[in-house]
Structure 1
Amino acid sequence: MRIATFNINNVVKRLPNLLAWLEAERPDVVCLQETKAPDALFPAQALEAAGYGAVWKGERTYNGVAILARGATPVPTRRALPGDPADAQSRYIEAAVNGVLVGCLYLPNGNPQPGPKFGYKLAWFDRLIAHAGELLATGVPVVLAGDYNVVATDLDIYRVKPLTTDALQQPQSKAAYRRLLDQGWTDAVRALHAGEQVFTFWDYFRDAWGRNAGMRLDHLLLSPVLAPRLRAAGVDAWVRGDAGASDHAPAWAELDWP
């Protein structure tokens, strides 16, 4: 089973890019973030024609998440992250696919920092950690995949800027990600590429793609049941070089499952 996560940065605008990647790589499960479309505009029919069933939670202009499954329809279990009923932003969806529980997340960016957006980011991270702990306690196979909007280590950015005010690089953001991993999750890409610089995001500005001035923001975390089944992991960086591309590229993990 190949599970991928891809911040598509507008699923309607970049539908041709998405379909081209699906045809080329044929992932079994895909978590999409920043679909940036209300539910009625999600391109379910085009994806079905490409062989993928889908569940989604949209939002006009911002956010939006979806889970796709090749030759199947994901069975939704949650359409929001628990812990704050007043939070209306579409940032989390969860579904069962072929015996695996898949959580697709788009963690808040948090900029500008300091400020209320950074507070929301940290509070959302706390809620994710709480829910992740509950998922682990069930003992079921789980993947938490998405855009975590955190530069976890110095290896995950092309150049470290110690005095930056960027919310993605703040000590509190890094510490929250470590707290999540310390529950027992395995970062699939880092587990198989220890010591390597691997990027999933290249800004549109300052020729970041051409200079390979990237960051690794998109992660697939595996529960202890799935971690021993990890066989391969990587990033389809070629997607970022296509015309009209998202500023992210898909990250993926291949599991010996079922």
Structure 2
Amino acid sequence: MPVADGGTRDDACGLRLLTLNLWGTNGPVARRMEDLAGWLAASRPDVVALQEVRRFDGELQSDLLAEAAGYPHRWWARTFTRDGEQEGLAVLARRPLTAGETTRLPGHPRDVPRQLQRAEIATPTGPVLVANTHLTWRRRHGGVRLAQARAVRHLLGEESLPVLLVGDLNTTCRSRAVQALAADFPPGSGLTDVFDLAPTRPRATFAFDNPFARQPWLLGRRVDHVLVGAAFEVVDARVVLDGRDGPVVSDHHGVLAELRLPAPDGPADGPGLPPLVA
């Protein structure tokens, strides 16, 4: 998959997407932001989905990255406020964001609130739905993650657009939560891990060699995911921002997927999401 200059691809049906847990303002945040902005400007993914997005120097991190890396369209959705600090999910896009909605997910009293951010993105072959989320992280909260995944699956199962689900799910592809997202009911609506369809093998996104990673039970696992609906062809996928394929900019590494979407046979059915209000 070409990265440095964006490569050559058929933009009429190609989509390159990155998901990354930004790790808020932890660690050497100024350097991390600078390194990530430089990588985004050089790599030019079409869509960037971020989790743990906060304010830095009075501005949203997602806005700062969009300005620095040349993303004209972005949407940050607040998930919670704690001790005066706001945190949320964000989508950056090179193509217009036409509609969006956030939905609260089941939670636990010992965790922060969780939500699903859904954004419709215009493409030459029609709108695509990017769903971005960050599930609970505690080891003993597997049942909560499963409930959250089932809520996400219910919401996405009602969508008529081609669907991409991305984010930090805090669990592996073999977990009950991810398997619930892959459930094929209604028929044809199941989601598939991009690495099941890509020619490359995945690596951990919460890695032992990442100096920022500190949750022992997650170490050595791939907990960041891109799941695709049946409409998408997966050209390639890989773990990035891991010190080998880009600088380490977070306690998580990112996942970059190159996808293709054929032109639809006709207009999508269903009411769609409400118009996006910036």
Determine if the alignment matches structure 1 residue 178 to structure 2 residue 179.
Answer: yes
Provide, for residues 93-137 of structure 1, a one-character-per-residue CA deviation record: whole Å limited to 9, x for no partner: 1111122110011111133x2xxx5553332222112112222xx
Conserved 8 A contact 2:153-2:181: yes
Gaps of 5+ in 2: 1-14, 185-189, 264-278
SS of residue paired to 2:119: strand
Computed over aligned residues only, the root mean square deviation of the Cα atoms, in angstroms, reads: 3.3
In structure 2, the partner of 1:75 is 98
In structure 2, the partner of 1:64 is 88
In structure 2, the partner of 1:108 is 136
TM-score of the pair, normalised by structure 2: 0.67
Measured after TM superposition, the shift of residue 33 of structure 1 is 0.7
CA distance in 1, matches of 2:119, 2:254: 19
In structure 1, the partner of 2:42 is 24
Amino acid at match of 2:249: A
In structure 2, the partner of 1:216 is 222
Determine if the alignment matches structure 1 residue 2 to structure 2 residue 16.
Answer: yes
Measured after TM superposition, the shift of residue 69 of structure 1 is 0.4
SS of residue paired to 1:79: strand
Measured after TM superposition, the shift of residue 27 of structure 1 is 0.3
CA distance in 2, matches of 1:235, 1:243: 12
Conserved 8 A contact 2:36-2:249: no
Conserved 8 A contact 2:156-2:163: no
SS of residue paired to 1:214: coil
Provide, for residues 135-175 of structure 1, a one-character-per-residue CA deviation record: whole Å limited to 9, x for no partner: 2xx2x21101111111224xxxxxxxxxxxxxxxxxxxx12
- Higher percent of residues as helix: 1
Conserved 8 A contact 1:36-1:63: yes
TM-score of the pair, normalised by structure 1: 0.72
Identical aligned residues as a percent:
30
Determine if the alignment matches structure 1 residue 48 to structure 2 residue 53.
Answer: no
- Higher percent of residues as strand: 2
Gaps of 5+ in 1: 154-173
CA distance in 1, matches of 2:90, 2:165: 13
In structure 2, the partner of 1:165 is none
Q: Which residue, 200, 203, 209 being the options, matches 1:198?
A: 203
